[in-house]
Structure 1
Amino acid sequence: MSVFPVEKPILHVRMPVRASLRLGPLGDIWHKPAFSAVASVAVPQFALLLAGRPDLAAYAAGGSLCALYGHGLPYTARARTLAWVVAGMLASIAVGLITASLTDSTVLRVAVAALLAGAHKATCDAARIGPPGHVVLTFVAVSAAFLPQRLADVPAHLALALAAGVVAWLVGMAPALVRPDGPERIAVARALEAAARLLRASSGGQEPPQARHAAAATVNAAWQTLLRAGTAGSRAELRRLLVRAESAAALPARHAAEADSFTAWARDLRKGRPLPVPGRSEAPGEDAGEEAELSGVAAERPRRHRLLPEVAGRWRVVMMVAAGSALAGWASMALGVGRPYWAVVTAAAVFAANTTLSWNRALQRVVGNLLGVALFTLVVPLTRLGSLALVATVLVMQFLTEATITRNYWLGSVFVAPMSILMTQFAGVQPVGELVADRWLDTCVGAVAGLAACVLLPDRRAARRVHEGLERLERAVAEPSPTDPGQARAARDRLNASLVELREAADTAAGEWWSTALPQERITTAERAGHRKLTELTGPARGAGVWTEERSREATE
């Protein structure tokens, strides 16, 4: 049994403002969820307009928003994931609608909404569903819990949500008809670009640890995508490119001259051009090592990440999110706000991996919603021209949300806020002043309550996970280097996964305001040893078990 050192807790107070609001680059596939969401929302909304029932639009919206998920997955995995998302969305809507039909108590509705928020957060984290995570599920389900409802109408409303979910599934799968290997191309292109950035940093005499970690994490994610895609079609050629990127990430000094080639290959992959065919590596003797790597991959590459975190961690998330969301909803009630579910959703959206990230999200949400309600007041006169104008405005806001949210959450929130307010107008026109006041007050209450729950319930196991990650990495480094390609491939997978997990655990623990001191020197030493071991398992010398002191020094300089 491992014994972890007991250290005196220390306080970390990190509440950045400028960094939290700084805009990042536009996401490389921002257009995919943007256009998918618009298409999947537009079909049922316009159908309801033609049927003269725009009041039912809120029920279709939940199914439509399932199109936001799964855009980084290969299509075989995306089909299953989208189906599960649609099923989860329907189950959540059903709980909300049944609650609304059985009780008029706002206290009970908030309680159910808070439990749903906690369950969504824990489930999405455990499944690593990816963006937009639990927030959309929670928004739809919590909104359903506050819709006027009769129990007899629930089946019909669920059927409408299911129909919209089917449309979302079809929209999400439609690009497979044009480019069936699109997600795999993007994943490998990202790995090549990350490796190129590392090579340029290395050739310039500076190799920041962040660049090496980013390259390792991106390569790891690309392998996961290719594994899920299977072996048909162009996967063999893509694996060859990824092996080259992985070798370069492990031995940047030996591949420094290939940075431009990696960038050009990535560009070809993104633009749908014929798959690049790598020539002979400019690193002497590297081609034989790459053939050995491909043989190891063919020998069955194991999955690298654990899909489920520890049970205690999941329950902590459920309790923390549910407590913060319930506190937000009940506080909103006490203040006389007519839509406390907005406070519940805000509190649920605040929760992130650690306290610092939760602070960032709370600040971003408050700033974005403040600007968003101002935008709502500007566009609301246009929406009063008729149902068609209302639907068109919602679609524009949906597109702008997905186009901007990758740059910073606050910027996306500028368009999320008016969109969610406008969706309440499908059931009937409501006073603008009341809507603005409710949204702004609920945002502030939800942000404060969510952040308070994060501060009062910090992740006290964060430091322990760092120690566990250290032990896994040190064991992986201590393993003898196998000569069999399949065994070498598996050893390298374990080592690379240990490096990525340790860095993620250390970054998460460092962002908690209350934790034990981290063994920074030991972490640095273990990461350096891990990267040295990666070079030992990479390249032509690996298969023969040859590792010289000169190559070891070259790999780590």
Structure 2
Amino acid sequence: MGKHARSTGQRATARSGSGTAVRARPLPIRSTVLLRRPVDIWHKPALSAVVALGIPEFVLLALGRLDLVLYTSAGAMCALYAHGLPYAARARTLMWVVLGMVASLGVALTAASLTTSVPLLVLLASLVAAVHKMMCDATRVGPPGNLIFTFISASAFFVPQRAGQVPFHLALALGAGALAWLVCMAPALVRPRGPERIATARALEAAAGLLRSGPAAADAPGAPDRARHATAAAVNAAWLTLFQVPGRTPAAAAARAGLERLLVRAESALAAREADAAEAERYAAWARDLRRGRPLPAVTLTGAQAGELAGVAAEHAGQDRDPGHGDTGPRRPAPGHPRGFRAMFGRLAPGSPLLPIGARVAVGCALAGWASMAVGVGHPYWAVVTAASIYQANTTLSWQRAVQRTLGNLLGLLLFTALLPVIHTGHLAMILLALTFQFCAEASITRNYWLGSVWVTPMALLLTEFARRLPARTLVTDRWTDTVVGAAVGLACCVLVTNRRAADRIEAALGRVAAAEAAALRLLDGDGGPDPADVRDDARETGWARDRLAGSLVELREAVEVSAGEWWQRAVPEERVALAEQQGHRTLARLVRRLSAPALAA
């Protein structure tokens, strides 16, 4: 059974007032601090941020106006986003990120110009932090998510401001954001297909791992195993990436079609019945070629696979002629669901599981800020940021983030203290150290959040030093107090304000898997096989059914992971989930075999 399929007797269970079974989940310790392998593109946001931050900072140094660094940093930090997206989608996403950052900064600066009431500013910063969390989760903007927005805006709430200064400061942020947009788009001049090639390479690498491990698990009790789920998720993510790639020129369409052929081959690993070391090595070699920018290899497909891609090409043709047509087609994200603004607002509708998370952020940040004030910290924005940073999809992840944040900040404060003699040598040293810290943060944060926080903390303190220098003892003491208070109060609110809708999300996901599987079985068992003249139509229908089922299985696993991490929650229906995943992956394998069958060759 799935990895959550453990005996429910091993967990402490109780009955709520309504008689529904709930369980208290122990919070992990050891796994919280373990280091992982860094993500494969960590250097892209790291270098982009260094360039986007460094250019404005050196300009301000030359002008003698380093007190404006906070405003240029607001726009420059947008360079951390959207590095996994194809360039056309990246351009749109970064535009919205920059506009969102400037809007958040505008709210903060306007509030700071209208009131000096610290309790009120804490409340406003907390509400804005909640909006950041819900919007970033609803739009699925990806790492670093809401944290950068909240860090910048929370800091700006406590910067002395006059109303007449606000437009100029927002113009600085917008200009730096435009520079960040250019920096992030610049690699398109060298490797215009880079993001989609990397996404396809990841799918091939996952498929190679599945073939090495013995994919026959799909037909055995206990399926799906971790390798099978990882392959399905990587293939699904790669298809969603390729769907965002325009092909308005023959060269672009040909490049996209070549990647789609590779992805169809990677997907065929889900239908394999036994280990295949030779095929796994072939996939791994193709992935290396993609990452190194080499020409796309020639790939042989069955007739059904070729028919499926012909259908995909037809849908792409309509999409490329009319971008608004992108809501149709067998490869669209979440087939049958709205996209764009409609999808975003749908995820925030009444009953959404994001609403309790937003409530956690608002309440936790406000209480953390007020508690920081109560212990004597004059500008408690760091407590607000700390509380906002720990709120993850569930209590377990939030607990881990609280421990990681506290540990990383403590070590970061020690590093900052040790480097004070260098920091006080002048502004040039401060800029070079800030850029170094930024690079090291991006290089290490994907290994573990606490390791990245070691570098983020002194960089954030340096931003404060640019505006006005505070006594080192006061600065370090205030930040440490804010960190502890923010983590403790934020985590307490996270534990008390449980996400009761997480279990409801599992039920909804189970329903979608059942519906997608039923539709797939009707297609598979409806006749003895397609007429050779209808291979293309059959391949399109099979591809559509495969996409719906694969996407539903990925959503189910995500829902289970979120609910399983709530420390006080209705017990996960483990047997039902495991059975649904097992049957779903068996059906998914049948769909892929139908597309791969030589008998379907046209």
Once the two structures are superposed, the pairs formed by residues 292-371 of structure 1 within 5 Å of their partners are 292-298=307-313, 299=315, 300-305=329-334, 307-308=343-344, 309=347, 311=349, 312=351, 313-371=353-411
Q: What SS does the aligned partner of 2:295 have?
A: coil
Q: Does 1:525 align with 2:579?
A: yes
1:318-359, Cα deviation, whole Å (9 max, x unpaired): 221111100110000011112300000000000001110000
Q: Does 1:244 align with 2:244?
A: no
Once the two structures are superposed, the pairs formed by residues 416-435 of structure 1 within 5 Å of their partners are 416-435=456-475
Letter in 1 for 2:504: R
Q: Does 1:177 align with 2:189?
A: yes
> Could you say which residue in structure 2 is the equivalent of 1:76?
88
Shift of 1:69: 0.3
Conservation of the 8 A alpha-carbon contact between 2:372 and 2:383: yes
Shift of 1:524: 1.3
Conservation of the 8 A alpha-carbon contact between 2:52 and 2:176: yes
> Could you say which residue in structure 2 is the equivalent of 1:513?
567
Letter in 2 for 1:343: A
CA distance 1:246–1:337, shift in 2 (3 Å) = same
Letter in 1 for 2:408: G
Once the two structures are superposed, the pairs formed by residues 367-406 of structure 1 within 5 Å of their partners are 367-406=407-446
Once the two structures are superposed, the pairs formed by residues 49-128 of structure 1 within 5 Å of their partners are 49-128=61-140
Q: What SS does the aligned partner of 2:592 have?
A: coil
Conservation of the 8 A alpha-carbon contact between 1:201 and 1:208: no
> Could you say which residue in structure 2 is the equivalent of 1:457?
497
- Whole-angstrom CA distance in 2 between matches of 1:208 and 1:20: 26
- Whole-angstrom CA distance in 1 between matches of 2:545 and 2:448: 38
Q: What SS does the aligned partner of 2:128 have?
A: helix
Q: Does 1:143 align with 2:164?
A: no
CA distance 1:310–1:202, shift in 2 (3 Å) = farther
Segment of structure 1 superposing worse, 235-244 or 269-278: 269-278
Conservation of the 8 A alpha-carbon contact between 2:197 and 2:290: yes
1:46-75, Cα deviation, whole Å (9 max, x unpaired): 011111111111111100000000000000
What runs of 5+ residues in structure 1 fail to find an aligned partner?
1-5, 281-285, 547-557
Conservation of the 8 A alpha-carbon contact between 2:271 and 2:590: no
CA distance 1:69–1:541, shift in 2 (3 Å) = closer
CA distance 1:327–1:444, shift in 2 (3 Å) = same
> Could you say which residue in structure 2 is the equivalent of 1:230?
246
Once the two structures are superposed, the pairs formed by residues 404-553 of structure 1 within 5 Å of their partners are 404-479=444-519, 480-481=522-523, 484-540=538-594
> Could you say which residue in structure 1 is the equivalent of 2:15?
none
2:170 to 150, 153, 158: 158
Q: TM-score, normalized by length of structure 2? A: 0.86
- Whole-angstrom CA distance in 1 between matches of 2:403 and 2:197: 36
Conservation of the 8 A alpha-carbon contact between 2:228 and 2:270: yes
- Whole-angstrom CA distance in 1 between matches of 2:19 and 2:266: 40
Segment of structure 1 superposing worse, 31-40 or 420-429: 420-429
CA distance 1:243–1:541, shift in 2 (3 Å) = closer
Shift of 1:539: 3.1
CA distance 1:353–1:399, shift in 2 (3 Å) = same
Conservation of the 8 A alpha-carbon contact between 1:288 and 1:540: no
Conservation of the 8 A alpha-carbon contact between 2:123 and 2:366: yes
Letter in 1 for 2:272: L
> Could you say which residue in structure 1 is the equivalent of 2:204?
192
1:454-492, Cα deviation, whole Å (9 max, x unpaired): 111111111111111111111211121165222221111
Q: TM-score, normalized by length of structure 1? A: 0.92
Q: Does 1:267 align with 2:267?
A: no
Segment of structure 1 superposing worse, 230-239 or 187-196: 230-239
Q: What SS does the aligned partner of 1:129 have?
A: coil
Please, what is the CA RMSD of the aligned residues?
1.9
1:168-221, Cα deviation, whole Å (9 max, x unpaired): 000010000000000001100111111111111116989862211111111111
**Length, aligned pairs only:** 535
- Whole-angstrom CA distance in 1 between matches of 2:500 and 2:587: 31
> Could you say which residue in structure 1 is the equivalent of 2:231?
215
Conservation of the 8 A alpha-carbon contact between 1:297 and 1:489: no
- Whole-angstrom CA distance in 2 between matches of 1:521 and 1:375: 49
Letter in 1 for 2:293: G
Conservation of the 8 A alpha-carbon contact between 2:42 and 2:442: yes
Conservation of the 8 A alpha-carbon contact between 2:305 and 2:539: no
- Whole-angstrom CA distance in 2 between matches of 1:386 and 1:57: 15
Conservation of the 8 A alpha-carbon contact between 1:343 and 1:443: yes
What runs of 5+ residues in structure 2 fail to find an aligned partner?
1-17, 316-328, 338-342, 525-529, 531-537
Conservation of the 8 A alpha-carbon contact between 2:43 and 2:443: yes
Letter in 1 for 2:246: G
Letter in 1 for 2:562: T
CA distance 1:182–1:527, shift in 2 (3 Å) = same
Letter in 1 for 2:109: L
Letter in 1 for 2:98: V
Q: Does 1:133 align with 2:145?
A: yes
Letter in 1 for 2:189: L
Runs of 4+ in 1 over 4 A off after TM superposition: 203-208, 540-546
Q: What SS does the aligned partner of 2:491 have?
A: helix
Segment of structure 1 superposing worse, 206-215 or 480-489: 206-215
Conservation of the 8 A alpha-carbon contact between 1:97 and 1:154: yes
- Whole-angstrom CA distance in 2 between matches of 1:97 and 1:203: 56
